[in-house]
Copies of this chain bind each other. A is one copy, B any other.
Amino acid sequence: MADSRDTPFRYLTLLQLIPRHPHKIATTTLLEKLNERGYRIDMRSLQRDLRDKLALHFPLVCDDSERPYRWYFDRDFHCNLPALDTASALTLVLTEEYLKGLLPPAVAGRLDPQFRAARQWLNGLEGNGISQWSRRVRAIPNGKALLPAPLNDELWQVVAQALLEGKALEVRYLSRSRGEEKPMTLHPQGLVSRHSVTYLLAMANDYDDIRHFALHRIRAASFASQPLRQMAAFDLDDYIKAGAFGYRQSPDDVTLRARVSPQVAWLLSETPLTREQCLTPEPDSDWQRLDAQVPDDQQTLWWLMGMGANIEVLAPSHWCDEIYRNAQQVIQRMDAAYAVAPS
């Protein structure tokens, strides 16, 4: 777009080219990229831009330990180009709250500069209204919040790069049979973040089948020298649908029929199970009849079981059986416990 020598926009382009802390970029590389983008400029000018102009106005750091100097931004620098507005800032705050329970801290931390910017922006409002926003906004996560497994930032970077830039990984993996840390070579094919655990889907060593590796059990990771082996036609959606994740029990949806209490009916009318669910009042009670096509997976079953006596599942039959058997077991076990140690 901007071809000729247009100083201010060259500066902007530069700012967009320089990465944040752990990464860095050499002066010469910057020169190339500028040329690519049509800025025909001398190296001397670039040096001046960086040291005398940008570095005075931004947290721009120069690493002069290597000869073509390397440049990078302070770890927590961030700048929202179109200014934030109240609605966006609020969205960011909610997002941060939710993310804390969903992604490992190191992963969510990647967006920290943005969240910080949003908070600062909201603080700027306090002058006018006395809003005290931080006391006024909360996100309550869906379902029981388990704590995401910790995991370090560098590891996340290495894994992300390996997966998306097509590299093989050398790792030490703490296998499920505790204690054993095994070194292996992984050929990443996909990544699934489920609940609070993030899994890398990869082929190990010379095997051709895909296994799951929980990121927080990877102890050390570095790029392998050997090239990545790709699985011919790997499609993550197909893979998950095929049940590989222990999620879906059958690839097809099932027809859920159930009677639901007024409270649950109300909940479902507000946040439907699916876009086409059908709720119809029953003649002789305040309960309602629910019909919906839902995925045949553990999640849905859990949700139904969590609702307990507020929902009565009529179909599919394997869920009825499961719920019934489950209730029986609970009673049996608790009766036994009471018998041993009556309160």
What is A's interface to B at a CB cutoff of 8 Å?
1-2, 6-9, 11-12, 15-20, 23, 53, 57, 73, 77-83, 85-92, 94-95, 97-99, 101-103, 107-108, 110-111, 113-114, 122, 125, 128-131, 133, 135-149, 156-157, 160-161, 163-167, 176, 189-197, 214, 216, 228, 230, 234-237, 240, 245, 247, 266-268, 270-275, 299-300, 302-303, 305-309, 312, 314, 317, 320, 323-331, 333-334, 337, 343
Contact = CB atoms under 8 A, between A and B. Distances in A.
B235 A135 contact: yes
Specify which of A107, A128, A129 lies most central, judged by the most chain B CB atoms within 10 Å of its CB: A129
A160 to B, nearest CB: 4
21 contacts: A12-B12, A16-B80, A17-B83, A19-B82, A86-B164, A87-B156, A87-B157, A94-B103, A125-B165, A129-B166, A142-B145, A142-B195, A142-B196, A147-B271, A196-B271, A197-B270, A305-B305, A312-B330, A312-B337, A324-B331, A328-B331
B333 A308 contact: no
Given A82-B18, A102-B142, A331-B327, A193 B94 contact: yes
A3 B83 CA distance: 20
Contacts of A15: 81-82
Nearest to A94: B193
Contacts of A114: 114
